[in-house]
Amino acid sequence: MGSVPDGRPGADTGLALERAAELLRGARHGLALTGAGVSAESGIPTFRGEGGLWTQYDPVKVASIESFLADPAAYWLVSRERGRVALAARPNPGHLALAELEAAGRLVAIVTQNTDGLHRDAGSRRVLELHGSGRTVECLTCGRTEPRSEVQARLDVEMPPRCKHCGGAVLKPTVVLFGEPMPAEVTQEAFELASKTDVMLVAGTSLVVFPAADVPLRAMRSGARMIVVNAEPTPFDRFAEVVIHGRSGEVLPEIARLTGG
Ligand code: NAD
């Protein structure tokens, strides 16, 4: 939770939580944008921030379409370990709070940069996955898809994994790698919602990956008020009406509780 220097939640944080709840109570088209930080408390490492994966790997080397095509086995060796963690992960109280806010009509949808599927597991219904889903893989030759869980089970004996249907082409997770376009329809829907939203709740994202970070920009340009919940400062904090620096698994349930169903 956001805190004063002695480590206890301070009066400022209490006021910010109240203000966030008040904004969401009045929202007619509330919209959330989430990022990797929302799943950190489910045990899935973020890219940036403390303990982020980018302190260990060069993302362009492991997560770009160019490097995938050049050496799919190198990509899958990293993905095998990340997949183990992501498939075992369960929604945390932050995901559950967002599902509650949607069920109560305070949010119309969640736009997420996450590929882990945890928002849906938590019960969120309208989830726009800007960067695709890590729950399926696709054949780059015949286009057929398979559940990631089935492919995960054979990664110890087959590296890189190959398509069972079309005679051995390499499989790729249905996630958007660096250098790939974002899914057109989902992206368009996200921007349309951003133009209509009156309250934009941003949680667990460094807001440095574009065009995802254009979603709150679009919302602000259309007159929305913004709430930012993140473990550390973001470049958008100065535009937000409410900024809470803390863990989304603690802050979001408190906001949902104060919003009051
Ligand atoms: P990011 O890694 O760039 O930033 C995460 C942010 O979350 C950081 O600013 C960090 O301070 C903050 N954070 C960490 N723990 C937090 C917590 N408990 N509560 C609140 N905030 C916390 O993530 P991004 O902005 O989503 O962009 C990175 C890209 O990485 C996205 O494209 C996404 O597709 C991908 N990614 C996805 C997952 C996932 O699906 N869970 C995980 C890692 C990366």
* Per-residue model confidence (pLDDT) at position 51: 62
Residue type, 11: A
Residue 210: what pLDDT?
87
Site to probe by mutation for ligand 1, drawn from 46, 90, 182 as the one with most ligand atoms within 8 Å of Cβ, is 46
CATH class label, 1-44+91-131+182-261: alpha beta
pLDDT score recorded for residue 96: 98
Specify the pLDDT at position 2.
46
Catalytic residue among 29, 95, 119, 131: 131
Residue range(s) of every CATH 3.30.1600.10 domain in the chain: 47-88+134-175
Residues in the chain, pLDDT under 70 = 1-11, 48-57, 59-60, 261
Tell me the C-alpha distance between 223 and 45, whole Å.
33
Q: Give the model confidence (pLDDT) of 19-34 as tens digits.
A: 999 999 999 999 999 9
CATH of span 47-88+134-175: 3.30.1600.10
Residues 6+ apart with CB under 8 A from 109: 31, 32, 102, 126, 127, 128, 193
Say whether 131 is catalytic: yes
- For the stretch 92-143, pLDDT in tens is 999 999 999 999 999 999 999 999 999 999 999 999 999 999 999 999 999 9
What's this model's pTM, rounded to 2 decimal places? 0.93
pLDDT at 86: 96
- CATH 3.40.50.1220 residue window(s) in the chain: 1-44+91-131+182-261
Torsion angle of alpha carbons 36, 39, 45, 51, nearest 10°? Answer: 80
